[in-house]
Amino acid sequence: MTQLHDPTSRSFASDNYAGIHPEVLQAIADANGGHQVSYGEDAYTARLQEVMRQHFGERAEAFPVFNGTGANVLSLQSMLPRWGAVVCSEHAHIDRDENAAPERIAGLKLLTVAAPDGKLTPAAIDTQAWGWGDEHRAQPLAVSITQSTELGTVYTPDEVRAITEHAHARGMTVHMDGARLANAAASLGVPLRAFTTDAGVDLVSFGGTKNGLMYGEAVVVLSPEASTGLRFLRKMDMQLSSKMRFASAQLLALLEGDLWLRSAQHANAMAERLRTAIDTLPGITVTQPTQANAVFAILPAGVADRVRESFRFYDWDAARGEVRWMCAFDTTESDVDAFVAAIRAALDQHGPVAPSPG
């Protein structure tokens, strides 16, 4: 096959743009050859259960799936009856970026609340957690939080525990969308279980694709009593891989050693390098703390489009000129420096920036 892209190209649009980590690619090759039983009855998936329990505790059970949307839909579907509702942030991926899959496929209702920094609080949850027993209202029976959040912020273990204790006291279960779970752990400097199992979370969507996998996430059940029917739902929702050994082998490559942590630490460090550099540039307002591998900023009008002539990235809020820049496991210091140089050049073309009012 002819290579159809420039392997030296880089962007700051999404950590999904990155390729496969070489150690993960090797794991796929190592799992190849010969025959293994399909649909999860293979040696790699069995080993994955052992490794997941090392990270998340003895009750943990992992269900590999194809993608993050599938992991979230399956998790929530297994946690709720048909009349159930999920309280989540207004920025939550399950609400904004999954094309209503939780509602259309899982058949549940999402109840969003304001979260200026992307993080829910017990008080914020209570703005939607009410109306139990009212047949006219979808019943708020679960909370979903994202770690790290869609705004690049990170919940501390204490913040997660405050949410789980609040939710459990109201008869609600707690799901964590962990598409960037490794980045959060790297930021906090704690084990994965510190803000999941030990903090009272019931189910986790464990992310791998954004941290160097070719494909593959996992639903990790931490509280078996909080989830029903996952084994059947995974097939119904078309998330059961016949050659599951290759999904499990990738997750093993991440989790048997420290690849998950090394990759996340590197991505976070590159985001911090980017943040430090742009803090010195005039006319740019950083809108969120840089706690994981994302940087959010407001640029003067027209600057973003000039930078996009060299580097691709997305608008977050086009109306106010806010953009999102993501770093990945393969982002290099020279990538960041070249990107900052492109931003600086675009600002110079833009001309002097008016001082802020006041």
SS3 144: strand
Q: How would residue 353 be classed by pLDDT, with cut points 50, 70 and 90?
A: low
* pLDDT score, position 352: 62
What is the mean pLDDT of the segment spanning 22-47?
98
Q: Residue 201 pLDDT more than 50?
A: yes
User: CB-side exposure of 221: number of CA atoms within 13 Å?
Assistant: 21
Q: How would residue 356 be classed by pLDDT, with cut points 50, 70 and 90?
A: very low
Q: How would residue 266 be classed by pLDDT, with cut points 50, 70 and 90?
A: very high
Q: How would residue 357 be classed by pLDDT, with cut points 50, 70 and 90?
A: very low
What is the mean pLDDT of the segment spanning 128-151?
97
* pLDDT score, position 350: 79
User: What's the pLDDT tens digit per position in 49-100?
Assistant: 999 999 999 999 999 999 999 999 999 999 999 999 999 999 999 999 999 9
Which of 276, 268, 313 shows the shortest CA–CA distance to 286?
A: 276
Helices (H), the chain: 22-31, 43-56, 68-79, 93-96, 101-104, 122-126, 157-169, 181-188, 230-236, 244-255, 259-278, 303-307, 333-350
State percent of the chain over pLDDT 90: 97
| Helices H / strands E in the chain, number of each | 13, 11
Phi and psi of 64, rounded to 5°? -60, 140
Length of the chain: 358
What is the mean pLDDT of the segment spanning 237-247?
97
* pLDDT score, position 204: 98
Domains in the chain, CATH or no CATH each: 22-255 (3.40.640.10), 259-350 (3.90.1150.10)
What is the pTM (predicted TM-score) of this model? 0.95
State percent of the chain over pLDDT 70: 98
Q: Residue 39 pLDDT more than 50?
A: yes
β-bridge partners, 335: none
Q: Residue 358 pLDDT more than 70?
A: no
What is the mean pLDDT of the segment spanning 234-239?
96
Which of 23, 22, 31, 20 shows the shortest CA–CA distance to 249?
A: 31
Mean pLDDT, rounded, of the chain = 96
What is the separation of C-alpha 85 from the centre of its chain, rounded to a whole number of angstroms?
21
DSSP state, residue 152: S
What is the mean pLDDT of the segment spanning 161-183?
98
Q: How would residue 182 be classed by pLDDT, with cut points 50, 70 and 90?
A: very high
Tell me how crowded residue 198 is: count the other CB atoms within 10 A of its CB: 17
